[in-house]
A and B are shown apart, each in its own frame.
Chain A
Amino acid sequence: MKKEITFTLNNEKVIVEVDPKWTLLYLLREVFEMTGTKEGCGYGECGACTVIIDGQAVNSCLYPVMEAEGRQIVTIEGLMTKEGDLDPLQKAFVDEGAVQCGFCIPGMIMSSKALLDEKEKPTEDEIKECIEGNLCRCTGYVKIVDAIKTVADRR
């Protein structure tokens, strides 16, 4: 039995019929065809599916879709400005060489975005803590941490 839910997605109000068994990731990827949010494992271990819900970085693959009701949800698709400029974090990831295959990158950016929204100047340890759950096999994380630091340092 489908149920209707309402929430805010990337600053737009959405009303959608969902199957309560779905995860938020399923709704985003399969129903809305917003494929920027990735599935790397489907069970909460890789962070590729990270989105921001009410300011918190969350693994959308574990998030029951019914819980989305009334919430503010931001995905990687919601970061660019209306003018088409990259978010400072996206830009730093590009410029610092933090992107290789790129599969982990939307999740990395969403995790660090949640941190930077909350903290003006996070410490290196806080940066590491915030992406601890985001696996990357390509970069060795060095340039990813550098990219996040660059944004924090510029503030």
Chain B
Amino acid sequence: MDGLKFVGQRVPKKDAPLKATGDAVYIQDLKVPGMLHGKILYSKYPHARIVKIDTAKALALPGVKAVLTGADVPNNFKFGFLKDNPPLKSGKVLSTRDEIAAVAAVSLEIAEEALDLIEVEYEELPGIFDPLTAMKEGSALIHEELKSNVLKLPWKFVHGDVEAAKKESAFIAEDTFSTQWVTHCCLGTSGCVATFDASNNLTVYSNTQIPSLAQNDFLEALKTFGLKKKRVRVIQAVIGGGFGSKLDTYAYEYIAILLALKTRKPVKIVFSREEEFLATSPRQCTITKISQGCDKDGRLTFREMEMVLDNGAYTSWGATTPSVMMVPISSLYKVPNIKYTAKCVYTNNTYCQAFRGYGNPQATFAIESCLDQLAEKAGIDPHEIRRINANEPGELTPQNFKITSCGMKDCIEEVVKRLDWKGKRGKADGRGVGMASLIHVGGAARVYKSDGCGTIIKVDDNGKVDVITGSSEIGQGSDTIIAQIVAEVLGVGVDDINIINNDTDVCPWDVGAHASRTTFVAGNSALGAAEKIRDQIMEIAAKTLGEPVEALEMKDGIIFSKNDKEKNIPFGKVLRKAHYSLGGRMLVAENFYDPPNENFDQTFRGNLSVTYAYGAHGVEVEVDKETGQVKILNYIAAHDVGKAINPMLLEGQIYGGGLQGIGYALGERMIYDKGYLKNGNFLDYKMPTVRDVPPVQAVIVESDEHAGPFGAKGIGEPGLVPTAPAIANAIYDAVGVRIKDLPITPEKILKALKEKAKQNG
């Protein structure tokens, strides 16, 4: 694509100056006149009956305006994917993050003091903290009204005949892999401000990644609270990190709404860091049994996976991660026979939710670790087995994914070349290389009935352009990508474009910043709107210049005739013409883009995404056999992105995702002991610091996806998908031990080395 002026450029992020000067207003910074501060009291026990709650002393504290308990939640309101989660619990608590009371007070300090004055009497109950125990016949029930701790969700996909394929396979590898809870660690904690007007219309200032869906959730809540026919407005403050953590609505938001309703004042709840660790929803931990086979030439014959996920005590949208896990399970490499089942199991642990990659990292860890085991059995180089089985354009995968553009092989080759794979592999001298590939949705994902996003463009009579988009800016740079796309179409500068993206009263509908969909969907939506407004402008310019539309071109804010450059008119002037002429008009265009992808059918078949994103990560490690410490010497992250609209921001996604992946692989873990979080702070949780950054190369592979805006696909999530298995595979190459349980800690490596020595000795 030649002649592009803005698309493909390293344009600085539009809101970066605001953020670099400290002027950006995050939810933490927001003050609304008359605002009260809300605080939440959490359960002392992971499983207990609440015998009594006495709030009298808290209520009597000067400055306290309201104290709520489960008894104050109207009409048994519950939220969440299965509507099993009351914002304030009464009767029984099921986890240590259960909200049991809340206070609104004139200051945060008074609210905190009031929490201490709430007296709760509990009767402790034995808890279930292990999904395998919870699944057992006769296990006590987490939700007594249900018959089983296993959620009634249909996660099963079957294609071909796995049993027959097993018999015909020349080699089979099977094993069990497990992954841990990890949490988003957004630097800006969760929070909101809820406020009602005199007619009980609600405004929520929010951090949400799903403004339109949150608006709907809050409307539903108001209805249950008895407030019918009200309006809800969601205004996003600048969001201090998302990564999926804000893809649902949460108890604290409903509590703020209830407190605001009770006090008739705006109520702000912002989490402390401890609360952020305790009361937000981590990535699900999983136990995966996997078996894969290949023929004598290394061609994959089948993949069978059985997975158990710890759902925690309540059900968010996160319980649907097994459906997205199916993407790699059915379609990473060409595999003719697939069998997959997953069970989400209630326990008295924290409940889980979306986190970048939405299940894909857990599934890919098992698939790609096991693939190396299979390659070893078959006597094939791990790079070779990946090349042989790589996805290709034109393929229809078992789930009926239509593979369009596909740069998987190129990514694998980039890794091999840049890592010096052949020179470095197989030395078993404490240094080793490993790789892993990925497939992810790259052209949206139809998880809801709609996968659409709206854009409105209006042009003012100074020639400045306002783009009003449904998409959310969570730091990823959608503001800039959309501006570049619109600038490209209109031939005006990126600085002349203003992006409005944070207010449901103004912005059109969108299903949210998830599934790496924003560049693809919001980008296509903006592209369509820009083309429409360009046509309108050209039409007026043609009339004014007395030239046919076909003869006109727009460049650097000027419209001119290709036949006669003297005939030209600045962009802004066209607009003034439109506004000030008799019978004048306004220049506004709208466009709704809902991609031509499909919901899954009952058998989980359907082209979930218009296109798919690919990548391969390669890593060279050095393992200290004395200490078990792993040092990453070189890290290559190659990604097929279709087209890089902004290589600089794109690299940022790859570097950021990659380091989250390294944390996932080598250190991060929420330690829960019998339902109690033991390391809910930055000191003990150990998210990566600058010291953990290895030498890293982000390699951009462009496959030019015809359905993407200017050829682009999504890249928000892929950066952390193959990281853990690539590292695990490299460690195996270095010292001959395979760690199957994340995170790969020095202790686990030492233990495995010891066992290996025992076996050999």
Instruction: Tell me the A residues contacting B by CB distance below 8 Å.
Output: 29, 33-43, 45-46, 48, 75-77, 79-80, 86, 90, 93-97, 99-106, 109, 128, 131-145
Q: Does B693 contact A (CB under 8 A)?
A: yes
A101 contact set on B, CB distance < 8 A: 19, 186-188, 238-242, 474-475
A97 touches B651 (CB 8 A): yes
**Which listed residue (B22, B23, B272, B652) contacts A100, Cβ 8 A?**
B652
- Does B22 lie within 8 Å of A139, measured CB to CB? no
**Of A40, A76, A141, the contact of B22 (CB 8 Å cutoff):** A76
Q: Are A93 and B651 in touch, CB under 8 angstroms? A: no
Q: List 16 A-B contacts (CB under 8 A).
A: A45-B681, A46-B273, A76-B21, A76-B22, A86-B21, A90-B17, A94-B13, A101-B239, A101-B240, A103-B186, A138-B187, A139-B656, A140-B652, A142-B693, A143-B648, A145-B693
Number of interface residues of B (CB under 8 A): 56
Asked if A137 contacts B241 (CB within 8 A), the reply is yes
Known: A40-B273, A45-B681. A97 touches B21 (CB 8 A): no
Contact of B22 with A35 in the complex, beta carbons under 8 Å: yes
Q: A43-B273, A142-B655 are in contact. Are A100 and B21 (CB under 8 A)?
A: no
One of B221-229, B360-368, B682-690 contacting the partner: B682-690
Q: Which residue of A lies closest to B22 (CB)?
A: A36
B198 part of interface (Cβ distance < 8 Å): no
Give the segment of B24-32, B38-46, B115-123, B400-408 that binds chain A.
B24-32
Known contacts: A46-B187, A94-B16. The answer to whether A145 contacts B690 by CB under 8 A is yes
In the bound complex, do residue A141 and residue B21 qualify as a contact, i.e. CB atoms below 8 Å apart?
no
Q: A residues within 8 A CB of B474?
A: 101
Bound CA–CA A80/B17 (angstroms): 11
* Contact partner, A99, options B20, B241, B651, B683, Cβ 8 Å: B20
**B10 near A40: Cβ-Cβ < 8 Å:** no
Known: A38-B26, A38-B28. A139 touches B652 (CB 8 A): yes
Please list the 5 inter-chain residue pairs (A to B) with the smallest Cβ-Cβ separation, ordered nearest first. A36-B22, A102-B19, A101-B475, A140-B655, A103-B240
B649 touches A97 (CB 8 A): yes
* Known contacts A90-B21, A94-B13, A103-B26; is-contact A142 B696 (Cβ 8 Å): yes
* CB <8 Å contact, B652 and A102: no
B649 touching A46, Cβ below 8 Å: no
Residues of chain A contacted by B18 (CB below 8 angstroms) = 102
A106 touches B656 (CB 8 A): no
Cβ of B184 within 8 Å of any chain A Cβ, yes or no, is: yes
Contacts of B660 in A (CB 8 A): 137, 140
Report B-chain residues with C-beta under 8 Å of the C-beta of A109. 20
Q: Measured between C-beta atoms, what is the minimum distance from A46 to chain B in Å?
A: 6
Q: Which residue of A lies closest to B189 (CB)?
A: A40
Please give, as numbers and ranges, the residues of chain A lying within 8 Å of B29 by CB-CB distance: 29, 35
> Is B154 positioned at the interface, with any CB of A under 8 Å from its CB?
no
B243 at the interface (CB under 8 A from A): yes
What per-residue 1/0 map shows which CB atoms of B271-291 lie under 8 Å from chain A?
011000000000000000000
Verify A35–B681 contact, CB threshold 8 A: no
Residue in B15, B28, B654, B683 whose beta carbon sits within 8 Å of that of A35 in the complex = B28
B12 CB–A CB distance under 8 Å: yes
**Complex Cα–Cα for A41 and B31 (A):** 20
> B658 at interface (Cβ–Cβ under 8 A)?
yes
A46 contacts across to B, CB distance below 8 A? 187, 273, 682
CA distance A17 to B322 in the complex (A): 57
In the assembly, what is the distance between CA of A90 and CA of B19, in Å? 9
Which of B12, B656, B683 is within 8 Å of A94, CB to CB?
Answer: B12
Residue in A closest to B31 when the chains form the complex, CB atoms: A33
Nearest CB in chain B: distance from A42 CB, A: 6
CA–CA, A101 and B27, complex, Å: 13
- Contact at B681–A97, with CB atoms within 8 Å? no
User: Which residues of B sit under 8 angstroms from A90, Cβ to Cβ?
Assistant: 17, 20-21
CB-contact partner of A41 in B475, B477, B681, B691, under 8 A: B681
Decide if B690 touches A104 in the complex (CB within 8 Å): no
* B387, chain A: closest CB distance, angstroms: 28
- Interchain CB contact (< 8 A) of B13 among A36, A97, A128: A97
Docked-complex contact B22 and A104, CB < 8 angstroms: no
Identify the closest chain B residue to A79 (Cβ).
Answer: B21
**Residue among B243, B273, B658 facing the most chain A CB atoms (10 A cut-off):** B273
Known A-B contacts A40-B273, A132-B691; A100 and B188 likewise in contact (beta carbons under 8 Å): no
Bound: A65/B656 CA distance, A:
35
Complex contact A42–B272 (CB within 8 A): yes
Q: Does B700 contact A (CB under 8 A)?
A: no
Find B683's partner among A40, A45, A102, A104 (CB 8 Å cutoff): A45
Contact digits for B644-682, partner A, Cβ 8 Å, 1 yes 0 no = 000011011011111110000000000000000000011
- Asked if B187 and A94 make an inter-chain contact with CB atoms under 8 angstroms apart, the answer reads no
| Complex contacts, B651 vs chain A, CB 8 Å | 97, 142-143
Q: Does B476 contact A (CB under 8 A)?
A: yes
Tell me whether A95 and B241 are in contact in the complex, defined as CB-CB below 8 angstroms, given that A46-B682, A128-B691 are known contacts. Answer: no
The complex places the Cα of A141 from the Cα of B12 at a distance, in Å, of 17
Which A residues lie within 8 Å of B10 (CB)?
97
Q: How long is the Cα–Cα vector from A64 to B360 in the complex, in angstroms?
A: 45
Choose among B25, B31, B475 the residue with the greatest number of A CB atoms under 10 Å from its CB.
B475
**Given contact pairs A36-B21, A141-B693, A103 touches B681 in the complex (Cβ within 8 A):** no
Bound CA–CA A93/B243 (angstroms): 22
On whether the beta carbons of B690 and A131 are closer than 8 Å, the reply is: yes
User: Are A143 and B652 neighbours in the complex by a CB distance under 8 Å?
Assistant: yes
Residues of B within 8 A of A33 (CB): 31
Q: Which of A40, A100, A137, A139 contacts B184 (CB 8 A)?
A: A137
Cβ A141 vs Cβ B659 within 8 A? yes
Closest to A93 in B: B20
Residues of B within 8 A of A145 (CB): 690, 693
Residues of A within 8 A of B742 (CB): none
Least CB distance from A31 to B in Å reads 12
**Max chain B CB contacts within 10 Å: which of A45, A75, A99?**
A99
User: In the complex, what's the smallest C-beta–C-beta distance from B274 to chain A, in angstroms?
Assistant: 9
Known: A94-B12, A101-B475. 4 other contacts (CB 8 A): A97-B10, A128-B691, A139-B656, A140-B652
Inter-chain CA distance A76–B683, complex, in Å, is 25
Asked whether, in the complex, the Cβ of B696 is within 8 Å of the Cβ of A35, the reply is no
Residues of chain B lying within 8 A (CB to CB) of residue A80: 21
Q: Which of B19, B31, B660, B693 has the most CB of A within 10 A?
A: B19
Question: Considering only CB atoms, which chain A residue lies closest to B663 in the complex?
Answer: A137
User: Are the C-beta atoms of B17 and A86 separated by less than 8 Å?
Assistant: yes
Q: Is there contact, CB below 8 Å, between A106 and B22?
A: yes
**Interface-centre pick from B29, B239, B272, B658 (highest chain A CB count, 10 A):** B29
- Which chain A residues border B19 with CB–CB below 8 Å? 99, 101-102, 105-106
